[in-house]
Amino acid sequence: MKIYLYIIATYLFMFCMDALSLSCRGYEDKVFIECENSVCTELFFVKEVYSGGGCGRRPVVDLMPEAVKRISDYETELGNIEENSGIYMLVLNRPFGIKFDYSFEEYHKFRELDLEAKYYFNSLMKVENVTSNKLEGNWREKERIGYRNYILDRIIDWVSLFFSILLLAFSIRCFIKWLHCKKVKYFIVWFVAQVAIFASIFYVNMWAPPMFILVAMVVPIVWLYQIVHFIVQKFKKCRLTKL
C-alpha cells in the first residue's frame, strides 16, 4: 500500500507543476489603433497567455496597461500615421514563461539606441477591410475558442492521469502476484500494462503533462522498485534454499 501512495503523491505533485520549454518563441501582444481625422485612439489590447503543454498559448482581450498605451502613442507619432485613416496593429513581444511588465522608459531607451536585445520592434501594420467592431468581435471569438480548447485539454489531462494511475497500480499488483505464485497470466498482464503505458506517449501530445510525467518520472521509479523487489525476493529464496 505504501508504494501505491508514494507513486500517487509523486505523480500529483509533478502534475501540478507546468513545465515550460526554453525553446519557445516569445509571446506576441497586439495593440489595435484606429486613426481618423488626424486623431488616433487605442481600440483594444490582445495579450497572449500560457495555455498548458509545451509552448501552448491563447489570446485574451485584456485591459491595456498604461505603459502599453504610452508605447502605442509613441509608435503612432514615430510612424506618422495620423494623417492616414484606418485601423493599425502594433505587435509587442514578451519573453516566454517568465513574469514581465512593460516599461515605456525602457522601451524608449532601447528604441532610441536601435537595440533588440529585449524588445523586438515591429512597425505599425494596417488592418484592411474590417471595421473596429468586427475586428474586436473576431478576437473575442478567438479568445472564447482558445479558452474552450484549454479547458478541454485540461479535462483530457486529468482523465488520462486518473486512468494512468489505475493502470500503473494494477500492473504493480500483477507483478507482486506473479512473484508470489509464478502464474504466467499475471506476468503477461503486468507486461502488457507496462508496455501500454510507455507506448501511449507516442499517441498523445509529447508535452501533455500527465503522460510526460508518467513516462519520464513515475514509470522509471516503478521499474526501479520492481527490479529491487525482484532481486530481494530472489535473494530471500536463495537463503531459504541454503538453510
Each residue's pLDDT tens digit, 11-46: 444 444 444 445 678 888 999 999 887 788 899 999
The more confident residue out of 139 and 17 is: 139
Mean pLDDT of 211-219: 65
The more confident residue out of 101 and 141 is: 141
> In terms of domains, do 35 and 147 share one?
yes
Which H helix or E strand runs over 41?
strand 39-50
Task: List the CATH number of the domain containing 142.
Answer: 3.30.470
> In terms of domains, do 56 and 142 share one?
yes
Mean pLDDT of 163-184: 78
Q: What is the pLDDT of residue 230?
A: 72
> In terms of domains, do 7 and 107 share one?
no
> Up-side HSE of residue 106: CA atoms within 13 Å toward CB?
11
Last residue of a domain, one of 120, 151, 182: 151
Q: Is 167 helix (H, G, I), strand (E, B) or coil?
A: helix
> In terms of domains, do 237 and 174 share one?
yes
> In terms of domains, do 39 and 132 share one?
yes
> In terms of domains, do 51 and 139 share one?
yes
> In terms of domains, do 138 and 40 share one?
yes
Of 3, 1, 23, the C-alpha closest to 11 is 3
Last residue of a domain, one of 151, 172, 190: 151
The sign one gets for the Cα dihedral 229, 231, 233, 239 is negative
> In terms of domains, do 35 and 125 share one?
yes
Containing structural domain, residue 217: 2-18+157-242
Last residue of a domain, one of 151, 171, 193: 151
Mean pLDDT of 65-90: 83
pTM of the full structure: 0.69
**Which one of 146-150, 189-193, 224-228 scores highest in mean pLDDT?**
146-150
Cell of 109: 531607451
What's the domain count of the chain? 2
